[in-house]
């Protein structure tokens, strides 16, 4: 197993730290598998009351590793990325995220499945799926319009531009901002506070908060996943991946 996800358990808090800072914590199939396994195990581990997710270095995550998209694309529902999305969306224990920097693609969409999300004031977010000739995943096409309204969601998804932590807070996808230096300490304190509460009351309350939407989330993830896998093989997406490797802008002029 790589050290690209650091997993530690302390004071009833399971900490999952994305740890590939030289690649801005871009997520590989191997990393998704480690995260999925840790989340699945946490559900049945009474020692774990809360999960805390953060990143190493100056990024939270730059999203799916684009080399992996080319060389090791997800094939279907049992692929590591979908296993991770199922695990994080169904996790019964509260998840706190400390977004310490760039959060791109799944770096942002995974936050829609966390319960409390804190970010450094300088964190930047982006949903670049259309720019990559892909479609949203992680039920973002359902959860974003629900949380912020259609027009704001359409702005983030269709334009795919980077947006600030202040805007992410204003649009309702993060709870609060902290300075870079104090982010982890604050997120830790909040995780500690949660960890001291009655675990069954927490579990049931989270279940109730998510209950009305859970079937829609599952169905949307399936529909998005099928389209996503198809799009990855499309000539438009291949042009984007090649352009990224060749450090140039994609050229869509030849597509109708």
- Tell me: does residue 160 bind ligand COA (CB under 6 A): no
- Tell me: does residue 86 bind ligand COA (CB under 6 A): no
- Tell me: does residue 122 bind ligand COA (CB under 6 A): no
Paired sense of beta strands 13-18 and 50-55, if any: parallel
- Tell me: does residue 18 bind ligand COA (CB under 6 A): no
**Minimum CB distance to ligand COA, residue 189 (Å):** 29
Residues 2, 56: contact at Cβ < 8 Å? Answer: no
- Positive or negative, the Cα torsion across 154, 35, 79, 40? negative
Given candidates 5, 18, 26, 157, which one binds ligand COA under the rule CB under 6 A?
26
Dmax (CA) for the chain in angstroms is 59
Given candidates 35, 39, 95, 102, which one binds ligand COA under the rule CB under 6 A?
102
236 three-class SS = helix
* 65/115 with CB nearer ligand COA: 65
Residues 82, 41: contact at Cβ < 8 Å? Answer: no
Query: Which range, of 7-15, 74-82, 100-108, 227-235, touches ligand COA by CB under 6 A?
Result: 100-108
Beta-strand (E) ranges in 48-146?
50-55, 59-61, 95-99, 102-104, 116-120, 124-126
- Tell me: does residue 65 bind ligand COA (CB under 6 A): yes
* 55/94 with CB nearer ligand COA: 55
The footprint of ligand COA (CB under 6 A) covers: 23-24, 26, 62-67, 102, 104-105, 128, 132
């Amino acid at each position: 197993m790589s050290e690209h996800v650091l997993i530690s358990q302390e004071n009833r808090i399971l900490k999952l730290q994305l740890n590939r800072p030289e690649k801005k914590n871009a997520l590989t199939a191997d990393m998704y598998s480690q995260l999925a396994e840790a989340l699945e195990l946490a559900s049945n581990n009474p020692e774990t009351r809360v999960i805390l997710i953060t990143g190493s270095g100056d990024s939270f995550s730059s999203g799916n590793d684009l080399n992996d998209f080319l060389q090791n694309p997800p094939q279907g529902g049992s692929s590591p990325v979908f296993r991770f999305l199922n695990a994080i969306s169904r996790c019964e224990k509260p998840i706190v995220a400390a977004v310490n920097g760039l959060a791109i693609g799944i770096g942002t969409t995974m936050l829609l499945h966390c319960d409390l999300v804190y970010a450094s004031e300088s964190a930047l977010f982006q949903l670049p799926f259309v720019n990559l000739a892909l479609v949203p995943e992680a039920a973002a096409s359902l959860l974003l319009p629900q949380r912020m309204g259609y027009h704001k969601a359409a702005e983030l998804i269709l334009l795919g531009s980077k947006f600030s932590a202040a805007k992410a807070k204003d649009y309702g996808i993060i709870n609060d901002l902290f300075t870079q230096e104090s982010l982890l300490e604050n997120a830790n304190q909040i995780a500690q506070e949660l960890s001291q509460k009655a675990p069954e009351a927490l579990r049931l309350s989270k279940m109730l908060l998510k209950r009305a939407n859970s079937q829609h989330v599952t169905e949307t993830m399936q529909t998005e996943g099928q389209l996503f896998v198809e799009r990855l093989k499309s000539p438009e997406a291949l042009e984007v991946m090649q352009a990224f490797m060749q450090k140039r802008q994609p050229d869509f002029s030849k597509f109708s």
